[in-house]
Amino acid sequence: MSNALYWQVSGQGHDLVLVHGWGMNGAVWQQIVDVLDVDFRVHVVDLPGYGHSAHCNAQNLEEIAEQLMVDAPKNAIWVGWSLGGLVATHMAIYHTDYVNKLVTVASSPKFSADKEPNMWRGIQPDVLTVFTEQLMENFQTTIERFMALQSMGSPSARKDVKQLKQAVLSRPLPDFDSLLAGLKMLSEIDLRPQLTQIPVPMLRLYGRLDALVPVDVAEVIGKVLPNTEQYIFNQSSHAPFMTEANMFCEQLLRFANK
């Protein structure tokens, strides 16, 4: 078996890389790939430990980056959803020849919430601890709960969960160690000190109803990175590319063509 990550490539045009989030795989993007590959050469990856890359393993962002760089296009637009946003941001900061524009989707430089004195909005640490404990007992149930949490509040929550579930189950289930490593990253990574080192144009996309990345984060990051752009999807929670797919594609096209 090859040690290479699984990539799906379609379309013609400027290279666009789509990076999925925790517990998922590249199939989550299929609805928008069918639209975007008219204008872009779209590269969809299964991250190490997920989907068709379940045989690969990475314990931190740099190990993920090293595996991505084997087959990733250079000078591409990178779109990272949730945990994938951390991956894409890491690529933009540390492997600049691969990224010429950065888009983060329902993502945060620090997913875990902080209490006083820093007061950072995010996922409560005890929620991540419970997910880790539940993962030890039954990882399929844990991933299903996470999917429900990602869609909570959206008017199309039931449809979004169904789509997410179909995407996950259409490919091999994620590797247990990679799921644990991903939860550890969500708990511990803090890229806030590195944000000002991002050397490329950046678009930040958020869901107004997101329970995992509170929309308040958009305002805080906007003050740190005043030259970046942001858009808030009014009807979306954590998966705006599913809930408001047409507007999502419009935002990407607008940003890419600037």
**Catalytic site positions:** 82, 210, 238
Query: In sequence order, what are the residues at sequence separation of 6 or more whose Cβ sits closer than 8 angstroms to the Cβ of residue 73?
Result: 15, 17, 41, 43, 98
User: Do 239 and 207 meet the contact criterion of CB atoms below 8 Å apart?
Assistant: yes
Q: How many CB atoms lie within 10 A of CB 166?
A: 12
